[in-house]
A and B are shown apart, each in its own frame.
Chain A
Amino acid sequence: MSDTRAPVSELFAGANASPFGRAQRRPRGARIPVSIVTGFLGAGKTTLIRALLDSPEGANTAVVVNEYGEIGIDNALLRASSDATVLLGNGCVCCLARSDLQETLRTLFADRARGAVPSFERVVIETSGLADPGPLLQTFASDRALGEEFHLQALVTVIDAPNGARNLASAPEAREQVALADRIILTKTDLADPAELIAQLQALTAAPAERAVNGAIDPAYLLDERLDLPVRVPEHDHAHAHSHDIESFIVTFDRPLRWPAFEQAMTVLTALRGADLLRVKGIVAVEGVKGPVVVHAVQHTAHRPIELQTWPDDDGRSRLVFITRGIGRAEIENLLSAVAAIVKEPTQ
């Protein structure tokens, strides 16, 4: 995790400049929000997205899919089309991620700017069933890729009651989809008792799980962002969610952090164990900075930290949720304090 601070030149900074750039009202700032819907084939992703597009809240959505057939476009909805983009009703567009997702999203962005497609307000990406969401999350992290224009809002994993438990037991991709998710959606619970599946989910993640019947779910559940990743409430000083080596825990700091020390610690962590650092997200109080700083890292890649104008609640402490493979809370805390002890104070 190299220096990921906003590219604020010391030139023209002005007396009130923050090292993180202009404080934002929300993590996405002015960028286009992206929700990723993942889940195995047949889990019900398409039904959910279709229902979203038909709702008032889903108006002006750009959907990126692998196959048009999946999204169920019929002729009545087809208004115009180009090679890869179909205009739907309700201000929505549907776009095929034929080859490269980055290229697809860049084209969508450019088409939107020139008015070739409706001025969509959000993107929903439906992944293919077997997709490992990790690389997808990283796509939105670096400025060189898509991070300047798009902001990852939520990773939502859909899992169906009849097949979910079997998939989780047999497919590592399914477990990663669940472990990394901000939210879980359970489908087809009328076809099978989800009790066993729910138990498996709880071993993998503390993410909230809602049931959707025929795709009906609160659109905010798909589209909104939460600053904190879900994590279990610590019990008996043992907060790890043990399962298949995937752990999730929260690290809190009562005092504001020195950013150089924190950044160095994260750099060491990602350099040594990036592959096992599945996801880190939270808000950090930084010395000398007024608002909380949103931190989000996926494996070796960190999203640009964003300073918010205000704290989301009265708890002004730093809090970071780690989802890891085999790295525990004690190791993280020890690393952070060790690095903080040896990082020099900035010279004036």
Chain B
Amino acid sequence: MPATDNSMIWNFKLVSHNSLDGFGGIGEGMSMQLAKDGRRILWLAHESAPKNFTAVDVTDPKNPKIVARRELPESHMRSNSLETVGDILAVAYQTKEPGLKPAGFELFDISTPENPKSISFFDCSGPESRGVHQLWFTDGKTIHMSAGAADFRPSHPKDDQIYRAIDVSSPAKPTELGRWWLPGQQVGDNEAPPKRHPGANDSGFRPHNTNVYPERPDRVYMGYLDGGMIVLDIADQAHPKMVSRWDYHPPNVGFTHTVVPFFDRDLLIVSDECTRNDGADWPKLVWIVDNRAEENPVPIATCPMPPVESFSRRGGRFGAHNLWENLPKEGCWKSDRIVFGTFFNGGLRAFDLDNPYQPKEAAYFVPEVPGAPTGACQLNDVFIDDRGLVFTVDRHVGGLYVLEMDF
């Protein structure tokens, strides 16, 4: 890494970089397939059209190779999120405006990674729906997602997506198991619609990540954007109930994104998403939340960030976004001591959580991205495999970076 540019690297070693043949804008879908022939295929969802997804063979991390790539059928849509389980790939489709198609998710057979074959499409389009923004699929049976629906009438256009659970155990015939939304989010609810955040900070009340883990199969951990963090009881999947909600907006600008439980330690790691450039929505943080009393989550710390006054001027967004979610799947690295997150122009950052009251910075990687439209990297998502290799992607042009932890 030349030292004359703005790059910063600490306690990571850069193993390789692949700019993905000029389509290096990746969203927040990264999933590793352990293919039957022994290869490790990393599936990446693109941030925006024209590309749908790209599959990269990372068996040799020094030499990642593109093995498959698909185009989106329409330019008014994006894929953004995907997951694999075994030889099944699920891809989320979201349209730019409500009422457009295709909006939903598509399942592919990826038993031959070079040739993904469509199995089925689950339609979530509707007059007021933009489809699926994000999906969680780790057990091969159920997709938990943030999605609109044909029959859902949001009380505000920005609140069109809700929590939906879909049974995909028969991949050719996905069927809905249940749904939940914030009371007031739908026209006709008994409760009043949620109070809007002011002006440009009104991002909407809808789920972002919808995480479910085998340690607590009866819980969904959700970032609910302007609604804060929400945990659901899904013991009765057809009738989810809210267990807890932690809403810290205002004073903070909304957009709670991801909630990762560290079950053994009674902690929740909660990330915001920064959505505005140049520090306009600062602070966007990674929070450490005491979850000993499940019904009353209490924030106890945030992960230390580099100074906003310097990073907010580097260009683009600066603040929290995706976390490494300890995906409960084969081939994934797991830790309840280290938190990894991507912070747009703040790069990829790792924190030591030995003392959860005082998280400590352990490592960072802030690459220089030639041709970055905002002038700086915008690292968007992170995936860590059970070899300890850390994969991170840029939102616009940078592509895929493969790193080793060195701490």
Contact = CB atoms under 8 A, between A and B. Distances in A.
B210 to A, nearest CB: 25
Interface string A142-176: 00000010000000000000000000000000000
A22 B311 contact: no
B23 interface: no
A30 B11 contact: yes
A21 B362 contact: no
Contacts of B310: 114-116
B407 A30 contact: yes
A29 B9 contact: no
Nearest to A24: B407
B8 A14 contact: no
A189 interface: no
Interface stretch (B86-94, B175-183, B349-357): B349-357
Contacts of B9: 119
A201 to B, nearest CB: 35
Interface stretch (A3-11, A126-134, A240-248, A330-338): A3-11
A121 B407 contact: no
A114 to B, nearest CB: 4
Contacts of A11: 266, 292, 356
Interface size on B, as a range, is 35 or more
Given A14-B265, A14-B336, A15-B264, A115 B6 contact: yes
A59 B265 contact: no
A22 B363 contact: no
A148 B360 contact: yes
B315 to A, nearest CB: 13
B326 to A, nearest CB: 13
Interface string B1-44: 00110111111000000000000000000000000000000000
A118 B9 CA distance: 10
Contacts of A90: 3
A16 B265 CA distance: 10
Contacts of B303: none
A318 interface: no
A8 B265 CA distance: 12
A114 B407 contact: no
Contacts of A139: none
Nearest to A91: B3
Nearest to A148: B360
Nearest to B309: A114
Contact of B355 (A9, A60, A91, A119): A9
A119 B2 CA distance: 11
B10 to A, nearest CB: 6
Interface string B376-407: 00000000000000000000000000000011
A233 interface: no
Contacts of B214: none
A7 B358 CA distance: 10
Contacts of B354: 6-8, 21-22
A85 B357 CA distance: 33
A162 B354 CA distance: 51
Contacts of B3: 59-60, 90-91, 118-119
Contacts of B262: 14
Contacts, number: 73
Given A7-B355, A14-B336, A90-B3, A30 B363 contact: yes
A121 B11 CA distance: 9
Interface in A97-116: 113-116
B127 to A, nearest CB: 47
Interface in A70-115: 90-91, 113-115
A226 interface: no
Contacts of B7: 119
B337 interface: yes
B199 interface: no
B267 interface: yes
Contact of A115 (B4, B306, B352): B306
A113 B8 CA distance: 9
Interface in B159-192: none
A8 B306 contact: no
B351 to A, nearest CB: 10
Interface in B287-339: 290, 292, 306-307, 309-311, 314, 336-338
A13 interface: yes
Contacts of A121: 10
A179 to B, nearest CB: 32
Contacts of B10: 119, 121
A23 B336 CA distance: 13
Contacts of A16: 264
Top 7 A-B residue pairs of the complex, sorted by shortest distance between their CB atoms: A91-B3, A119-B8, A30-B362, A30-B407, A114-B307, A14-B264, A14-B265
Interface of B: 3-4, 6-11, 262, 264-267, 290, 292, 306-307, 309-311, 314, 336-338, 352, 354-358, 360-363, 366, 406-407
Given A114-B310, A115-B8, 20 more contacts: A6-B354, A7-B358, A8-B355, A11-B292, A12-B356, A13-B265, A14-B265, A22-B337, A29-B362, A30-B11, A30-B360, A30-B361, A30-B407, A59-B3, A113-B307, A114-B307, A114-B311, A115-B311, A119-B8, A148-B360
